[in-house]
Chains A and B, each alone.
Chain A
C-alpha cells in the first residue's frame, strides 16, 4: 500500500497546486502592517498631529484598507473579507488590552510608592489627611472581619441550597429557587446595602457596624456560592451515590460523606471566588459601616473601615498624599483578590473530580 501512495504522491502535488487559488506569501500581512505604520507616522508628522493615538488610528485604518485592496487583487473578494475580519478581531483584542493593561500598570507603579511595612501596620488614627503617612491596618482588620462573617453565614446556607437543588429539588419550588438565584446574582450591591439599611438600621434601630455590612455582603455572596456549588455537585458521578445508597447508607450521610467530599475542591474554589468578589464591594460598606480612621476590632459595634472603602475615602480627600494612599490600598486590594483567584483556580485544577471525561 505504502508503495503505491509513494508512487502517486509526486504526481498529485502539481495537480492540487493548479486547482488552488493564488495565495499571498506568508510575509504579506507583516509587510502591509509595516507599510501602514510607516505611512501613519509619515502622515502624522506631515499633518502635525500631536497625539500618538491618532497616528496609531491612521496606521490601523491604512492597514485594514491596504489588506483589503491587496488581497482583493491577489486572492479575490472572499479572501479579502476574511482577512479584514481577522484584522478587526486582532484590533478588538489590542483595543481591549490597552486600558486593562494601563489600569494594572498604573495601580502597581503608583501603589508601590508608599507601600511598605509601616503602611500595612498602621491606621489613620491621628494622621491629617494632607500629610503623608498613615496606613491601612484598620482597613485590613475591617475587611477580614466583614468578609469573614459574611463567608461564615453565606457558605452553609449556599451549600445547603445547592444540595437542595441537586439532590432533593423537584417541582415548582426548585425551579423558582434556581431562577431567583440567577436573578439575585445581578442585584446591584447598593440595593443590597439599601435593603439591610431598611431592615437593620431604619426598622430595628441599630447603628452602623461591620456586621451590618456583612449581612449585605452575604446577600451578594449567596447566589455565587449556590451557582458554583450546584455546578460542582452535578459533576459528581451518580454511581458513587448509588453505591453508597446500595450499602444502606442514609441519604443525608451519603451526601455528607460521599457527595460533598468528592466535590470539595470545586466547592472551595467557588467559595473563594465569591469571597474575592465581595472583598471589593464598596457601596454597602459606605451605607452600613460608615468607615473609621482608627482601629476597631469589634465588628458588632461602631464604624469600621474596609480596604475598598478606604480607597474611596482617600480618593475623596482629593490631595496628593491621599491619592498615594488610595493607590497603595488599591494595590493591596488587587493583590489580595488576585491571589485568592489564582489559589482558587489552582485548587480547582488540583482537586478536579475524576469524571472520566
Chain B
C-alpha cells in the first residue's frame, strides 16, 4: 500500500503488518521450499512403501527371515535375513573399532597435540571426511584385502577357538564381513572425530581450570570435566557414523564376496548387506526383481531414519551442539 504525502493525513488504522506483493511472494517461496523438502521425505517413504508392499505380497518366502535372494525366479523367493545380519555385524565391528580411536584423535587434537600441529591436523581430518566412498572401496579391495591376510591367519590360529575368528579356509582372500567392518571403521573415523572434537571444544574452560587448580593431572581433567560434559555429543557423533556405515554401498560392494549364507564366522567370505545386495543384484534384476530390491531399500531407509533421528534428538537435547554437525 503506497503511503504518499497526500493521504498521510489520514493514516489507515494499524493492521499489524504491511502486506507487500514482494514480501508475500518471497515468503511464500521460502515456505514452499521448506514444504517441498518435507514432501520429498514423505514421498520417499510413500513410494518405496507402495513398491515394497507389492513385492512382499508376491514373496513365496518369509521376507524378514529367509536367506535366499532369488527375486527373478517364478515363484519369487527372497528375504533379508542375511542382509540384516551382515549390515548390523559389519556396522558394529566398524563402531567398535572407530569410536574409541576417533575419540582418541579428537582428544589428541583438542587437548594433547601441540597447538602448531592441532590446527593443520583438524584441517586434514576435515579433508579426509570428503574422500569419496568409491575410492575407499578401490583401496580396500586392491590394497587392504591382501594386507589383512596376515592378521586373518593370526586371528584364526590364536583366537580360532572362540568360533567367531575361526576361518574355514585360512589361506582364502580376506573378503569377509570383518574386513568390511575395518574398512567402514576407517571411513567413518573422520566424521566421528570431527563432531567429537567440536564438542570437546565447547567444554567450559572454567571446569577444566577448576580441576587443574585442584591439582588434577591432564587425564583426570579429561575424565572428570571433559568426558562427562561431552558424553551425549560423543553418542550422537557415533550414531551419525553408524548411520553412514549402515548405508555404505560401494566400499562394501567392492570388498565383500557375497553369498546368501549366514555365518557366525566373521572371517569367512560370506554374507551381505542391504546396500551391497542392491548394488550387486540391480544389473540383472527383472522388473519384479527391482521391486524386491526396493523393498530391501525401504528397510534400510527405515533403519537409518531411526538411527539418525535418535542421534539428532540426543543433539537437540543439548542445544549448544546444534552447530557442531556440519
Contacts and interface: CB of A to CB of B under 8 A. Distances in A.
Contacts of B294: 194, 197-198
Contacts of B143: 102-103, 106
B29 A160 contact: yes
Contacts of B51: 198, 202
B92 interface: no
A280 B279 contact: no
Nearest to B250: A282
Interface in B122-140: 123, 126-128, 130-139
B186 A100 contact: yes
Interface in B287-326: 287, 290-291, 293-294, 297, 300-301, 304-305, 307-309, 311-312, 316, 323, 325-326
Contacts of A184: 37, 40-41
Nearest to A251: B23
Contacts of A341: 126-127, 130
Interface residues of B, number: 94
Contact of B308 (A167, A185, A286, A333): A185
Contact of A82 (B219, B253, B316): B219
Contacts of B131: 103, 280, 334, 337
A89 B22 contact: no
Interface string B90-132: 0000000000111111011000110000000001001110111
A136 to B, nearest CB: 14
B5 interface: no
A322 to B, nearest CB: 11
Q: Which of A107, A161, A165 has the most CB of B within 10 A?
A: A161
A181 B316 CA distance: 13
A143 B308 CA distance: 29
A312 interface: yes
B107 A89 contact: yes
B179 interface: no
B112 A86 contact: yes
A190 B134 contact: no
Nearest to B32: A160
A330 B134 contact: yes
Q: Which of A99, A203, A330 has the most CB of B within 10 A?
A: A99
A255 B37 contact: no
B249 A103 contact: no
Interface string A200-244: 001100000000000000010011001110010000000000000
A100 B40 CA distance: 36
B279 to A, nearest CB: 6
Contact of B108 (A82, A93, A194): A93
Contacts of A330: 134-135, 138
B248 interface: yes
A90 interface: yes
Contacts of B50: 198
Contacts of A167: 30
A222 B41 CA distance: 12
B184 to A, nearest CB: 12
Interface string A176-193: 110111111111111110
B306 to A, nearest CB: 10
A266 B31 CA distance: 22
A191 B254 contact: no
B304 A188 contact: yes
A190 B278 contact: yes
Contacts of A92: 100-101, 103-105, 107-108
Given A188-B301, A315-B254, A330-B134, A168 B47 contact: no
Given A160-B30, A194-B294, A202-B51, A226 B37 contact: yes
Name the 4 nearest CB pairs between A and B, nearest first: A280-B132, A188-B247, A92-B104, A252-B26
Given A164-B31, A179-B312, A341-B127, 11 more contacts: A78-B217, A92-B104, A103-B143, A163-B30, A183-B305, A188-B248, A190-B300, A191-B300, A227-B325, A282-B132, A283-B275
19 contacts: A78-B220, A85-B219, A103-B131, A107-B135, A173-B31, A173-B34, A177-B37, A185-B308, A186-B304, A186-B307, A190-B247, A195-B44, A197-B290, A252-B26, A280-B135, A283-B275, A308-B134, A333-B135, A345-B126
